[in-house]
Amino acid sequence: MDLEAVCKRSALHAKPQGLILQYGTAGFRTNAQHLDHIMFRMGLLAVLRSKQTRSTIGVMVTASHNPEEDNGVKLVDPLGEMLAPSWEEHATCLASAEEQDVRQVLAAIVEKEAEDLTQTAFVVIARDTRPSSEKLSQSVIDGVTVLGGQFHDYGLLTTPQLHYMVYCRNSGGRYGQATVEGYCQKLSKAFVDLTNQVSCSGDVKRSVKVDCANGIGALKLREMEHYFSRGLSVLLFNDGTQGRLNHLCGADFVKSQQKPPQGIEMKSGERCCSFDGDADRIVYYYCDADGHFHLIDGDKIATLISSFLKELLLEIGESVNLGVVQTAYANGSSTRYLEEVMKVPVYCTKTGVKHLHHKAQEFDIGVYFEANGHGTALFSEAVEVKIKRLAQELDDGKGKAARTLASIIDLFNQAAGDAISDMLVIEAILALKGLTVQQWDAIYVDLPNRQLKVKVADRRVISTTDAERQAVTPPGLQEAINDLVKKYTLARAFVRPSGTEDIVRVYAEANSQESADRLAYEVSLLVF
């Protein structure tokens, strides 16, 4: 490792003195102007991680649903997963080092991780459509090459597409071909196989309206739609030709504001969905005949998917361990429905998809979704092999169910939550089951809820346990929350420090919107 050359090049990507950024729940994120040094250094770190794991590592330049002037970066581990926690610490140390300390921090990482520097390194890079992304991804490449790493720049990809590429490259082709065409073909073939089962009934062609948040999702859906257009037509809105990224549109806006995005025309009963800026989240919605807006969030998506999978497993006659993973933000009605009506085990993890993903890996089939629409389903290798074998061997009703399940397995992006893949899964399930969006929505009724952000002097004074549902510090806070909750019916409330913003989040739900609003407000006064 030529540290001299690294330091010289690092000076061209100098860190603003005193700027300290943390590798948070979704990597580094802030105003794009402050990120050049971070990008260069994450290029360096990706090379070290690649040498250590002897695998391809991914670097994604995006700030997801943040405003257009922000940007961010995160590393993707060998199986397409989020970076391991010990390396998040290395990332924070390296990003925070003043210019003269970079050499020392790199050497410390090499020593701590017992790196064999003679190993080759390979890094794949992609970016979203932000104006700042192209230049910032060049800085990543600069970091990769100065440490002698090889790289492939995919250019514009959705975040989950990059996760998919990393997974493909490290699974020796077992998972799929690591190209955009490979991705499109794998998903489309599975989707067309599924929808071919229904289209023979002479139905009019299905269509869905998609709000692309003025982001990368529009480009990638356009690139892909001709592969599956026989089964589904997608009508794109907020495709980036006019509006600003994530501005008054996109999954995060729709979920948090509980209203339709700007720039989409909705007729009563029409199925609509919104992606976020890097197309790893999706929520559905529709307007009823009275013009009322109905949101179908990640919890209802998880319920639709897990009930469909459970039905298929019953038909096939296989007893398989299926579990659903949620966070504390999951609507209480969804948890109750899954546990009591569907008899599916439900687990709660801390916020952040890496926690849900790891928990879901413990099951033969693990379905995980955050309420905000980020999620997917994971299938153990044993289950996948077995189902695909049964799909070939059996030719009765069981065989048909096995073939449906085999296609569904291929349709999921098992590396990461993926708005395009999830949309195709949902569209296929609705078509196969003949469900309208209203029927899907009616599976259960969401408990009214309210989320608030509270600005405090130091959000770290709040620490939590029990998957963030109970506050441990400051002393007395949890007891005070419990006392408030007791005053309401079907109520629940919790507080936690955000991992992505300098705020504390308050969540409350209760049997009426007024009660949920009041409870959230009362809890926020305890935090303030």
- Residues known to be catalytic: 64
Q: Which of 81, 280, 370, 509 binds Zn ion (CB under 5 A)?
A: 280
CB of 438 to ligand NG1, least distance (A): 26
Positive or negative, the CA dihedral 459, 461, 465, 471 is negative
Instruction: Provide the Cα torsion 370, 426, 189, 204; round to 10°.
Output: -160
Query: By CB neighbour count within 10 A (0-12 exposed, 13-18 middle, 19+ buried), where does 169 fall?
Result: buried
Report d(CA 36, CA 524) in Å as an integer: 37
Answer yes or no whether residue 361 interacts with ligand NG1 by CB under 6 A: no
Nearer to ligand NG1, 53 or 64 (CB): 64
Answer yes or no whether residue 25 interacts with ligand NG1 by CB under 6 A: yes
Give the bridge partners for 476, in sequence order.
none
Q: Are 409 and 384 in contact (CB under 8 A)?
A: yes
CB of 290 to ligand NG1, least distance (A): 29
Report d(CA 10, CA 5) in Å as an integer: 8
CB of 505 to ligand NG1, least distance (A): 5
Amino acid at 328: A
Answer yes or no whether residue 22 interacts with ligand NG1 by CB under 6 A: no
Residue 498, binding choice from ligand NG1, Zn ion, none, Cβ under 5 to 8 Å by partner class: ligand NG1
Query: By CB neighbour count within 10 A (0-12 exposed, 13-18 middle, 19+ buried), where does 392 fall?
Result: exposed
Record the tokens describing residue 262, joined without a space.
């700007």
What does the DSSP assignment read for 286-333? EE-TT--EEEE-HHHHHHHHHHHHHHHHHHHT----EEEEEETTS-HH
Answer yes or no whether residue 64 interacts with ligand NG1 by CB under 6 A: yes
What does the DSSP assignment read for 1-28? --HHHHHHHHHTTPPPTT-----BBTBE
Nearer to Zn ion, 218 or 493 (CB): 218
Piece in contact with ligand NG1 (CB under 6 A), picked from 147-155, 294-302, 476-484, 495-503: 495-503
Answer yes or no whether residue 352 interacts with ligand NG1 by CB under 6 A: yes
CB of 26 to ligand NG1, least distance (A): 4
Answer yes or no whether residue 498 interacts with ligand NG1 by CB under 6 A: yes
Record the tokens describing residue 218, joined without a space.
């529009």
Query: Which residues, 468 to 507, sit near Zn ion by CB under 5 A?
Result: none
Nearer to ligand NG1, 335 or 500 (CB): 500
Q: What CA–CA distances, in Å, run from 379 to 157, 178, 346, 349, 383?
A: 24, 20, 16, 19, 6
Nearer to Zn ion, 53 or 246 (CB): 246
Residue nearest to ligand NG1 (CB): 499
Nearer to Zn ion, 37 or 127 (CB): 127
Piece in contact with ligand NG1 (CB under 6 A), picked from 133-141, 234-242, 466-474, 497-505: 497-505
Residue nearest to Zn ion (CB): 64
Q: Which of 372, 413, 414, 421 binds ligand NG1 (CB under 6 A)?
A: 372
Answer yes or no whether residue 10 interacts with ligand NG1 by CB under 6 A: no
Beta strands 375-379 and 365-369 are antiparallel
Answer yes or no whether residue 351 interacts with ligand NG1 by CB under 6 A: yes
Answer yes or no whether residue 329 interacts with ligand NG1 by CB under 6 A: yes
Residue 505, binding choice from ligand NG1, Zn ion, none, Cβ under 5 to 8 Å by partner class: ligand NG1
Query: Which residues, 63 to 82, sit near Zn ion by CB under 5 A?
Result: 64
Answer yes or no whether residue 505 interacts with ligand NG1 by CB under 6 A: yes
Q: Are 378 and 42 in contact (CB under 8 A)?
A: no
Record the tokens describing residue 117, joined without a space.
């520097």
Answer yes or no whether residue 160 interacts with ligand NG1 by CB under 6 A: no
Amino acid at 468: E
Residue 280, binding choice from ligand NG1, Zn ion, none, Cβ under 5 to 8 Å by partner class: Zn ion
Q: In the block, which residue shows the tokens 């970076």?
A: 83
Q: Are 124 and 154 in contact (CB under 8 A)?
A: yes
CA 448 to chain CA mean position, Å: 24
Amino acid at 154: Y
Piece in contact with ligand NG1 (CB under 6 A), picked from 6-14, 242-250, 370-378, 411-419: 370-378
Residue 372, binding choice from ligand NG1, Zn ion, none, Cβ under 5 to 8 Å by partner class: ligand NG1
Residue 276, binding choice from ligand NG1, Zn ion, none, Cβ under 5 to 8 Å by partner class: Zn ion
Piece in contact with Zn ion (CB under 5 A), picked from 62-70, 147-155, 233-241, 304-312: 62-70
Residue 25, binding choice from Zn ion, ligand NG1, none, Cβ under 5 to 8 Å by partner class: ligand NG1
End-to-end CA distance of the chain: 50
Instruction: Please choose, from the candidates 448, 513, 523, the residue with its C-alpha nearest in 3D space to the C-alpha of residue 483.
Output: 523
Nearer to ligand NG1, 62 or 407 (CB): 62
Piece in contact with ligand NG1 (CB under 6 A), picked from 110-118, 258-266, 354-362, 492-500: 492-500
Query: Which residues, 247 to 276, sit near Zn ion by CB under 5 A?
Result: 276
- In the three-class reduction of DSSP (H, G, I as helix; E, B as strand; rest coil), residue 374 is classed as coil
Q: Which of 26, 46, 105, 365 binds ligand NG1 (CB under 6 A)?
A: 26
Task: Calculate Rg over the CA atoms of the chain.
Answer: 23
Beta strands 322-327 and 346-349 are parallel
Piece in contact with Zn ion (CB under 5 A), picked from 52-60, 61-69, 422-430, 476-484: 61-69
DSSP 99: G
Q: Are 494 and 504 in contact (CB under 8 A)?
A: no
Q: Which residues bind Zn ion (CB under 5 A)?
A: 64, 276, 278, 280
Q: Which residues bind ligand NG1 (CB under 6 A)?
A: 25-26, 64, 329, 351-352, 370, 372, 374, 498-501, 505
